[in-house]
């Protein structure tokens, strides 16, 4: 089971290490982790995506709640929420495929961040399905590098 967990934490040195350590101590790989300040600079929000069995992930959530620097743990799995990810994709480009790559990028509402004679850097923002689809469509052109932010999520309630 894949879970998306939003964690409000005190914005202190070492909090990220404690949270990541909790997952690694249980043998969980964090699929995605994004951290940033909230509207209050003393509080940060972590969005964690991890996969594991229900029982163990419930135990991780309980132990997260026990950490001193944790303010609130919100399990967004199964809830109504908005999620986004940003990806930069560097693609080989030439005279033959330039217009096709630009047209596909436009279809995905992507932004061209850098263009050189032999490559283009494309910025795409969206949910995981959009990002995955864009990457799959770009593969035949020759992706040379991908950089992803990780998922951020916010409940609609």
Q: Are residues 66 and 105 in the same domain?
A: no
pLDDT at position 27 over 80 = no
Together in a domain, 6 and 71 = yes
Do residues 119 and 60 share a domain? no
β-bridge partners, 74: 6
Q: Which of the pair, 60 or 122, is modelled with greater confidence?
A: 122
CATH number at residue 107: 3.30.70.1150
pLDDT of 34 above 80: yes
Q: pTM, whole model, 2 decimals?
A: 0.83
**Longest pairwise C-alpha distance within the chain:** 58
Q: In which region does residue 153 sit, left (phi positive, over 0), alpha (psi from -120 to 50) or beta (all else)?
A: beta
The predicted structure's pLDDT at residue 39: 96
Report pLDDT for 47.
96
Give the lowest-confidence range in 15-24, 98-107, 132-141.
15-24
Evaluate if residue 1 carries a pLDDT over 90: no
Domain stops at, among 50, 75, 100: 75
Residues 87 and 55 in one domain: no
Q: What is the pLDDT of residue 63?
A: 87
Task: Report the phi/psi class of residue 145: left, alpha or beta, with left for phi > 0 and alpha for psi in -120 to 50.
Answer: beta
Domain that holds residue 61: 2-75
CATH of the domain at 63: 3.30.70.260
State whether 44 and 70 are in the same domain.
Answer: yes
93, 151: one domain: yes
Query: Do 143 and 89 share a structural domain?
Result: yes
**The predicted structure's pLDDT at residue 48:** 93
Q: Among the ranges 21-25, 48-52, 135-139, which has the highest mean pLDDT value?
A: 135-139
Number of domains in the chain: 2
Is there a single domain that holds both residue 86 and residue 22? no
Candidates 118, 84, 124, 88; CA nearest to 105 is 124
Look at residue 114 and tell me whether its pLDDT is greater than 90. yes
56-95 residue pLDDT tens: 778 888 889 988 899 999 999 889 999 999 999 999 998 8
Of 52, 75, 98, the residue at which a domain comes to its end is 75
Q: Which residue has the higher pLDDT, 114 or 23?
A: 114
Instruction: Name the average pLDDT for the chain.
Output: 92
């Amino acid at each position: 089971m894949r879970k998306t967990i939003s964690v409000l934490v005190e914005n202190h040195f070492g909090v990220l290490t404690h949270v990541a350590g909790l997952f690694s101590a249980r043998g969980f790989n964090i699929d995605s982790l994004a951290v940033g300040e909230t509207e209050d600079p003393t509080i940060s929000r972590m969005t964690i995506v991890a996969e594991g069995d229900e029982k163990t992930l419930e135990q991780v959530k309980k132990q997260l709640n026990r950490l001193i620097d944790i303010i609130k743990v919100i399990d967004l799995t199964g809830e109504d929420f908005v999620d986004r990810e940003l990806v930069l994709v560097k693609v080989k480009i030439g005279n033959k495929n330039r217009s096709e790559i630009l047209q596909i990028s436009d279809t995905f509402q992507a932004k061209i961040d850098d263009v050189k004679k032999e490559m283009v850097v494309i910025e795409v923002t969206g949910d995981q399905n959009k990002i995955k689809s864009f990457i799959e469509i770009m593969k035949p052109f020759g992706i040379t590098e991908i950089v992803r932010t990780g998922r951020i999520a916010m409940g609609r309630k």
